Chains A and B, each alone.
Chain A
């Protein structure tokens, strides 16, 4: 039976059967260095991801937060090299997965990674499942593709996966079509499909945005539970800081293609350094807050995200920043470590925040 990580990927497989690296050793699983993904269209060049670097450790939960168009989804798609070319193209940087640069792999090698070592789930469960194939068939495809299973065995395992994501009567569901399931269940199926081959990393791109609020919590809980069970790392991408608060260990805030702040979750909320982060936090509605009682108005960040084709000189947030200085409009600040493991890209922090 073909195993994973054969051939050129020998260095990548990491004890898949037990999935336990050395208990104390925290390996850097994913290391993204200076990633640049640009889109070329009639209107010019959109620098969707412009020099983004971050690390993901084994079993870590990382959150990436930002408004639409900030590049958070594009960076995730770049990791799996799913950027449509044309008009997009990864023009720079390295993506190191267990030491191997994914950008240098052939298409065939890359396919062995997708859905197998690194999986991704998307925002719209309604349209992300193929309407003409059964739910079970789509999950089984992962097994047959990466583990070479026969149809019957793959279906058995699919039923197991459905059970794992808490879908009732899985043996019946496995033969149903996506349109026969509710939104929440479809997202569970997506998760089942993504986790079938026990990937080391699950990237979840706004997994709950399209779902009802009541279902959102269920899905997030499910994902965290499975994370513990399977010992995998999660990258949770969202625009909603509220989801981040109790789910991930570290947070990355992105704006207009760059990382503007990075810190452990608690630090982000206790001591947000970047004006954008502060704006996001203020814009959150919280129970028992002064906003709810009507004493203070809900704040929003004035202005709009600049067009990626037409970025302002200097700091990209300068057009909307409440504490903008002359320096900000001239020169773009670097990402600096301000506190322990707390990074910020802002001239204010250079002067002591």
Chain B
């Protein structure tokens, strides 16, 4: 699927290059690009004239940090919240949880970032306002990671908790949950041992898909917090008409999407014994 994705974006990029007046036959360009790709050569930036591959390698860890920690926080907060609102359905925790998640999906991510920045960095001075910290110093990196990661994480929580809630409610209505209760299993154990794993199956798919949304969100967050990263690179490449860089970033991005889908599929097969993975 990523291969197809790359083809599709390649169409766009080829159109762009035509616009620029490059006069080599398209297929030749394309095969040259692929050949270079296999050698890890992604061309030179039109603006800085530096190797694009090197630029990407420099910023990639920051984006990686951000996306991974955002997802981690999102799952950590979102899944339990979803379960809680499902169990305490139509009672106070449910209403609060649902208001929270409805609010969460109605707030633009960058605004959330700005809010967090304003409250915690500017007013309370608890965290640094911008930047990503010295790459060598792990502590500093984590410190600078907190606010941006929470920005992504909270947005993800709102979404994941809704999905988990709905999935959990479905599962709790299933026959086998009734069987468990009829066996004398305690409510807590029923939820933990019988319901949860089944409810997580659709949630996993959704989380896997959301990873791509996270990548999109990281673009905005990187700009808000002035962090270096792939997203920021992509935005500037578009603004500056730096098509070489843009092309390369899209390739990396498609590869990431493909990889994430693969991981999701594997996870899915692990959790659900009905799926046999070849």
Contact B182 A120 (CB under 8 A): yes
Q: Give chain A nearest CB distance to B78 CB in angstroms.
A: 21
Q: Give chain B nearest CB distance to A263 CB in angstroms.
A: 29
Contact A130 B183 (CB under 8 A): no
Contact B273 A132 (CB under 8 A): yes
- Give the distance in Å from the alpha carbon of A79 to the alpha carbon of B64 in the complex: 56
Contact bitstring A94-134, B, C-beta under 8 A = 1, else 0: 00000000000001000111111001101010011111110
Tell me the chain B residues, 113-127 only, with Cβ under 8 Å from chain A. Answer: none
Contact bitstring B162-187, A, C-beta under 8 A = 1, else 0: 00000000000011101111111111
Q: In the complex, which residues of chain B have a beta carbon less than 8 angstroms from the beta carbon of A111?
A: 184-186
- With an 8 A cutoff between CB atoms, is B45 at the interface? no
- Give the distance in Å from the alpha carbon of A104 to the alpha carbon of B179 in the complex: 22
- Give the distance in Å from the alpha carbon of A266 to the alpha carbon of B182 in the complex: 32
- Give the distance in Å from the alpha carbon of A193 to the alpha carbon of B179 in the complex: 10
Given contacts A177-B273, A177-B274, A179-B274, contact A129 B179 (CB under 8 A): yes
Q: Give chain B nearest CB distance to A125 CB in angstroms.
A: 9
Q: Please give me the residue from chain B that is nearest to A134 by CB atom.
A: B273
Contact A80 B185 (CB under 8 A): no
Contact B197 A113 (CB under 8 A): no
Contact A128 B179 (CB under 8 A): yes
Q: How large is the interface on B (under 10, 10 to 19, 20 to 34, 35 or more residues)?
A: 20 to 34
- Give the distance in Å from the alpha carbon of A348 to the alpha carbon of B243 in the complex: 93
| Set B178, B198, B273: member contacting A122, Cβ < 8 A | B178
- With an 8 A cutoff between CB atoms, is B44 at the interface? no
Q: In the complex, which residues of chain B have a beta carbon less than 8 angstroms from the beta carbon of A193?
A: 179, 183
Q: Please give me the residue from chain B that is nearest to A142 by CB atom.
A: B183
- With an 8 A cutoff between CB atoms, is A253 at the interface? no
Contact B184 A145 (CB under 8 A): yes
Chain B CB within 10 A, most for which of A107, A119, A130, A131: A130
Q: In the complex, which residues of chain A have a beta carbon less than 8 angstroms from the beta carbon of B187?
A: 107
Contact B184 A127 (CB under 8 A): no
Contact B181 A114 (CB under 8 A): yes
- Give the distance in Å from the alpha carbon of A130 to the alpha carbon of B176 in the complex: 5
- With an 8 A cutoff between CB atoms, is A146 at the interface? yes
- With an 8 A cutoff between CB atoms, is B271 at the interface? yes
Q: Give chain B nearest CB distance to A82 CB in angstroms.
A: 6
Q: Give chain B nearest CB distance to A53 CB in angstroms.
A: 23
Tell me the chain B residues, 191-209 only, with Cβ under 8 Å from chain A. Answer: 193-194, 197-198
Contact B184 A146 (CB under 8 A): yes
B residues neighboring A (CB under 8 Å): 174-176, 178-187, 193-194, 197-198, 271-274
* The 8 nearest A-B residue pairs measured at CB: A115-B183, A114-B184, A115-B184, A127-B175, A130-B176, A111-B184, A128-B175, A120-B182
Listed A/B pairs (25) with beta-carbon separation below 8 Å: A80-B182, A82-B178, A82-B182, A111-B186, A112-B184, A114-B183, A114-B184, A115-B185, A122-B175, A122-B178, A122-B182, A130-B176, A130-B180, A130-B194, A131-B198, A131-B272, A132-B271, A133-B193, A141-B185, A142-B184, A145-B184, A145-B185, A177-B273, A179-B274, A193-B183
Instruction: A145-B184, A177-B274, A179-B274 given; name 10 further pairs at CB < 8 Å.
Output: A82-B181, A82-B182, A111-B186, A114-B181, A119-B183, A131-B273, A133-B193, A141-B183, A177-B273, A190-B179
